[in-house]
Protein backbone atom coordinates (compact mmCIF):
# COMPACT_ATOMS: atom_id res chain seq x y z
CA UNK A 1 0.00 0.00 0.00
CA UNK A 2 1.23 3.49 -0.90
CA UNK A 3 2.77 5.09 2.19
CA UNK A 4 1.13 8.49 1.45
CA UNK A 5 -2.27 6.79 1.29
CA UNK A 6 -2.21 6.05 5.01
CA UNK A 7 -2.43 8.44 7.96
CA UNK A 8 0.07 8.80 10.82
CA UNK A 9 -1.46 5.78 12.61
CA UNK A 10 -1.08 3.61 9.52
CA UNK A 11 -4.78 3.48 8.56
CA UNK A 12 -5.94 4.14 4.99
CA UNK A 13 -7.00 7.75 4.51
CA UNK A 14 -8.22 8.16 0.91
CA UNK A 15 -9.84 11.56 1.54
CA UNK A 16 -6.65 13.14 2.80
CA UNK A 17 -4.68 11.43 0.02
CA UNK A 18 -7.02 12.81 -2.66
CA UNK A 19 -6.90 16.32 -1.15
CA UNK A 20 -3.10 16.34 -0.99
CA UNK A 21 -2.83 15.10 -4.57
CA UNK A 22 -5.23 17.83 -5.72
CA UNK A 23 -3.17 20.50 -3.95
CA UNK A 24 0.00 19.15 -5.51
CA UNK A 25 -1.57 19.28 -9.01
CA UNK A 26 -2.82 22.82 -8.44
CA UNK A 27 0.61 23.85 -7.18
CA UNK A 28 2.17 22.73 -10.47
CA UNK A 29 -0.55 24.49 -12.46
CA UNK A 30 0.26 27.86 -10.89
CA UNK A 31 4.02 27.68 -11.40
CA UNK A 32 5.45 31.07 -12.30
CA UNK A 33 9.05 31.25 -13.50
CA UNK A 34 11.42 33.93 -12.20
CA UNK A 35 12.37 36.61 -14.72
CA UNK A 36 15.23 39.04 -14.21
CA UNK A 37 14.32 42.61 -15.13
CA UNK A 38 17.26 44.36 -16.77
CA UNK A 39 16.74 48.11 -17.20
CA UNK A 40 18.66 51.33 -16.54
CA UNK A 41 18.98 52.81 -13.05
CA UNK A 42 21.66 55.52 -13.22
CA UNK A 43 20.83 58.91 -14.63
CA UNK A 44 17.26 59.78 -13.75
CA UNK A 45 16.94 57.35 -10.83
CA UNK A 46 13.35 58.33 -10.02
CA UNK A 47 12.09 57.90 -13.58
CA UNK A 48 14.12 54.71 -14.08
CA UNK A 49 12.70 53.25 -10.85
CA UNK A 50 9.16 53.99 -12.02
CA UNK A 51 9.92 52.37 -15.37
CA UNK A 52 11.35 49.26 -13.67
CA UNK A 53 8.18 49.00 -11.58
CA UNK A 54 6.16 49.24 -14.80
CA UNK A 55 8.26 46.46 -16.34
CA UNK A 56 7.75 44.31 -13.24
CA UNK A 57 4.00 44.77 -13.46
CA UNK A 58 4.17 43.74 -17.12
CA UNK A 59 6.08 40.56 -16.18
CA UNK A 60 3.46 39.68 -13.55
CA UNK A 61 0.70 40.15 -16.12
CA UNK A 62 2.51 37.63 -18.34
CA UNK A 63 2.64 35.01 -15.56
CA UNK A 64 6.20 35.58 -14.29
CA UNK A 65 7.70 36.56 -10.95
CA UNK A 66 9.89 39.61 -11.64
CA UNK A 67 13.25 40.11 -9.96
CA UNK A 68 14.46 43.72 -10.26
CA UNK A 69 17.30 44.07 -7.75
CA UNK A 70 18.34 47.51 -9.00
CA UNK A 71 15.17 48.95 -7.47
CA UNK A 72 15.52 46.90 -4.30
CA UNK A 73 19.20 47.09 -3.41
CA UNK A 74 19.32 50.84 -4.02
CA UNK A 75 16.98 51.22 -1.05
CA UNK A 76 19.89 50.49 1.28
CA UNK A 77 23.05 50.55 -0.85
CA UNK A 78 24.39 53.76 -2.40
CA UNK A 79 24.79 53.36 -6.15
CA UNK A 80 27.11 56.40 -6.14
CA UNK A 81 29.65 54.68 -3.85
CA UNK A 82 31.72 52.32 -5.97
CA UNK A 83 32.30 49.85 -3.10
CA UNK A 84 28.54 49.54 -2.45
CA UNK A 85 27.74 49.43 -6.17
CA UNK A 86 30.16 46.50 -6.55
CA UNK A 87 28.41 44.61 -3.75
CA UNK A 88 25.03 45.32 -5.35
CA UNK A 89 26.20 44.10 -8.77
CA UNK A 90 27.55 40.92 -7.19
CA UNK A 91 24.19 40.30 -5.48
CA UNK A 92 22.36 41.11 -8.73
CA UNK A 93 24.30 38.38 -10.51
CA UNK A 94 23.54 35.87 -7.76
CA UNK A 95 19.83 36.57 -8.20
CA UNK A 96 20.20 36.40 -11.98
CA UNK A 97 21.49 32.85 -11.55
CA UNK A 98 18.19 31.87 -9.93
CA UNK A 99 16.07 33.27 -12.78
CA UNK A 100 14.77 31.36 -15.78
CA UNK A 101 14.96 34.31 -18.18
CA UNK A 102 16.35 37.83 -18.47
CA UNK A 103 14.17 40.55 -19.99
CA UNK A 104 16.04 43.63 -21.18
CA UNK A 105 14.05 46.86 -21.53
CA UNK A 106 14.84 50.01 -23.45
CA UNK A 107 17.00 51.08 -26.36
CA UNK A 108 20.11 52.02 -24.37
CA UNK A 109 22.16 49.42 -22.52
CA UNK A 110 24.02 50.86 -19.53
CA UNK A 111 27.32 49.49 -18.22
CA UNK A 112 25.52 47.71 -15.37
CA UNK A 113 23.00 46.20 -17.77
CA UNK A 114 25.82 44.97 -20.02
CA UNK A 115 27.38 43.11 -17.06
CA UNK A 116 24.02 41.43 -16.45
CA UNK A 117 23.53 40.57 -20.13
CA UNK A 118 27.03 39.09 -20.39
CA UNK A 119 26.43 36.96 -17.29
CA UNK A 120 23.03 35.80 -18.59
CA UNK A 121 24.63 34.75 -21.90
CA UNK A 122 27.36 32.92 -20.00
CA UNK A 123 24.71 31.11 -17.95
CA UNK A 124 22.74 30.38 -21.15
CA UNK A 125 19.62 32.09 -19.87
CA UNK A 126 16.75 32.90 -22.20
CA UNK A 127 17.15 36.54 -23.24
CA UNK A 128 14.22 38.64 -24.40
CA UNK A 129 14.38 42.27 -25.46
CA UNK A 130 11.59 44.83 -25.15
CA UNK A 131 11.12 48.49 -26.00
CA UNK A 132 10.19 50.94 -23.27
CA UNK A 133 6.60 50.51 -24.54
CA UNK A 134 6.72 46.74 -23.82
CA UNK A 135 6.95 45.62 -27.44
CA UNK A 136 9.17 42.57 -27.85
CA UNK A 137 11.96 42.96 -30.40
CA UNK A 138 14.38 40.52 -32.02
CA UNK A 139 18.10 41.06 -31.65
- Spatial distance between the Cα atoms of 128 and 104, rounded to a whole number of angstroms: 6
Distances in Å between the Cα of 104 and the Cα atoms of 81, 87, 119, 137 are 25, 21, 13, 10
**Tens digit of pLDDT per residue, the chain (139 long)?**
445 666 667 778 788 778 777 766 765 567 899 999 999 998 899 999 999 999 999 999 999 999 999 999 999 999 899 999 999 999 999 999 999 999 999 989 999 999 999 999 999 999 999 999 999 999 8
Asked whether the beta carbons of 113 and 37 are under 8 A apart, the reply is no
CATH class of 34-137: alpha beta
Domain limits, the chain:
1-30, 34-137
Give me the pLDDT at residue 9, please. Answer: 73
Give me the pLDDT at residue 28, please. Answer: 59
Amino acid sequence: MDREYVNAEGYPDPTCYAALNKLQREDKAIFRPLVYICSPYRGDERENTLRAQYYCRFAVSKGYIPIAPHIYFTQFLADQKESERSVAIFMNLVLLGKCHELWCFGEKVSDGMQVELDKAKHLRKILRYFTEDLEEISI
